[in-house]
Chain A
Amino acid sequence: MSWFSQTLTSSIGKKLLMALTGLFLISFLVIHATINAMIFYNDGGETFTHWGHFMGTNPIVRTLEIGLIIGFLVHIVDGLILWKNNSEARPIKYAMNKPSANSTWYSRSMGLLGTLLLIFLVIHTAHFWIPNRSNQFATGEELNLYQMMLDIFQNPLVVLIYVLGCISLFWHLLHGFKSAFQTLGLNHIKYNGAINFLGTAFSIVVPILFALMPISIYLGWVY
């Protein structure tokens, strides 16, 4: 095995892949949340559609989208491999265990939270991304995503699924954001405070912003 593949398949290498793809997906969340927040202009989706059109048709963005799909796949597959390795490292469990005495439940539940997010991701892409891109591929025309949002978020069950997805995202980010920096070796008294603050703030603000979108449409605040 070459030094490169040896590095990526080592324990630290697999963690490194999780951290790098995780931070990349976090950067995607910033863009996604910013553009979707345009619906709060309440201008009948004009600003939102303008930027949605840019994201859906700009060749640079469309190329980056392939990177995004790869980023998701690596994060998911690598996460599953790590989960399997880690469960094999302790085949016999403790009869009595008190992990709450030494760590937070969400830091120990990244696999579970990630699985919930994956289920949400399937539902979410089936709602918007897949129909839109298939239509673009078939006819070259984009769908009216704003109108689709208004329609889909009339169903209270869908709104509930989206809110639960945002809650899973909050817990996943609350550990994942800071954990990524630790894995990259970026643990230093000079900037630990900033990473912790930014990580917590990001984990709260972004999921709330996302959750407000279906809620606002359902309650008729955005129309």
Chain B
Amino acid sequence: MSADNMHIKLKVWRQSNSNTKGDFENYSLDHVSPDMSFLEMFDVLNEQLIEEGKEPVAFDHDCREGICGMCSMYINGRAHGPLKGVTTCQLHMRSFNDGDTIVVEPWRAEAFPVIKDLVVDRDAFDRVISAGGFVSVNTGNAQDANSLPIPKIAADEAFAAAACIACGACVAACKNASAMLFVSAKISQLALLPQGQAERTIRAEKMVAQMDAEGFGNCTNTGACSAECPKEIGQENIARMNREYIGAKLSSSAV
């Protein structure tokens, strides 16, 4: 391991709670393996801080295999770091150089207040889902899904949208802190499937209304969200959401 040992300097955002003003702290790590994930490197930092009797850095993480959407670090000016199509937990230290200084910040958005250090409150996403991201039709059990014929192309498109893990990188990367990639993925995955038809119009109206109420910004079609999305959710979903919303407003029974 000694041959591959890396020295890493960290500049990490520390903030004790949502009411206090935070600031950057500098740390130095002398025993980092290039095979470590970025979060494992943070584990090493926290071990070191605990041994020194200091408060460890709070950061969100859960599955550490790129599917839960919990990890949420803005690394060197990029959501989930420098790689394309990966979450922070799937980013490894081999993507950095020995001696690098790495700046780590929380997601920055009015709708995502900092709870502590690098942890932000993403309940706004849950409230958008509660507003309309569901189906009321009985979809049965696992085997029933296989007995419901759905064209391959619709299933594929819906699946591509459903790959969204709601990590919030789209909001973090967008210059306007807009949540439109997230909301459009959730609207799309249901609008494309037969189970989602009953609530199709009301869903688009309610989810967009909730998104606006949460204080997210407005999309200006820069494409930054798709470029930084760990699941590479495409811009065509935002176009679909716009169609769904305009169509819903023109045709729904809510006057």
The 0/1 profile, CB within 8 Å of A marked 1, for residues 177-192 of chain B is 1101000000000000
**CB neighbours of B77 from chain A (8 A):** 94, 96-99, 101
Contacts of A190 in B (CB 8 A): none
Query: B239 to A95, Cβ gap below 8 A?
Result: no
- Identify the closest chain A residue to B236 (Cβ): A187
Contact B24 A12 (CB under 8 A): no
B65 CB → nearest A CB, Å:
24
A88 near B110 with CB under 8 A, answer yes
Binds A, one of B55-63, B143-151, B215-223: B215-223
B117 within 8 A of A: no
Asked if B119 is at the interface (CB within 8 A of a chain A CB), the reply is no
- Report how far A80 CA is from B240 CA in the complex, Å: 26
Give chain B's interface secondary structure class: mixed
Kindly identify which residue among B82, B175, B249 contacts A86, using a CB–CB cutoff of 8 Å: B175
User: A77-120: which residues lie under 8 A (CB-CB) from chain B?
Assistant: 82, 85-86, 88-99, 101-104, 107-108, 110
Whether a CB of chain B sits under 8 angstroms from the CB of A179 is yes
- Expressed in whole angstroms, the Cα–Cα distance for A96 and B241 within the complex equals 31
Q: With a CB–CB cut-off of 8 A, which chain A residues contact B241?
A: 12
> Which of A95, A103, A110 meets B224, CB within 8 Å?
A103
A175 at the binding interface (Cβ < 8 Å): yes
For B110, the chain A residues whose CB sits under 8 A away are 88-91
Query: In whole angstroms, how far apart are the Cα atoms of A107 and B227 in the complex?
Result: 14
Distance from A55 Cβ to chain B, minimum over Cβ atoms (Å): 33
Contact A187 B220 (CB under 8 A): no
How many angstroms between the C-alpha atoms of A6 and B222 in the bound complex? 25
Q: Write the nearest CB–CB distance from B80 to chain A, whole angstroms.
A: 11
A183 at the B interface (CB under 8 A)? yes
The 9 closest A-B pairs by CB, nearest first: A89-B217, A185-B243, A187-B239, A98-B77, A102-B227, A86-B176, A89-B177, A103-B222, A86-B217
16 cross-chain CB contacts under 8 A: A2-B255, A3-B249, A6-B249, A10-B208, A11-B178, A11-B212, A16-B242, A86-B218, A89-B111, A89-B176, A89-B216, A90-B217, A99-B175, A182-B239, A183-B242, A187-B236
Known A12-B208, A107-B223, A187-B235; further 14 A-B contacts with Cβ < 8 A? A3-B254, A10-B208, A11-B218, A15-B218, A16-B246, A86-B177, A90-B110, A93-B108, A96-B77, A98-B77, A108-B222, A175-B221, A182-B238, A185-B239
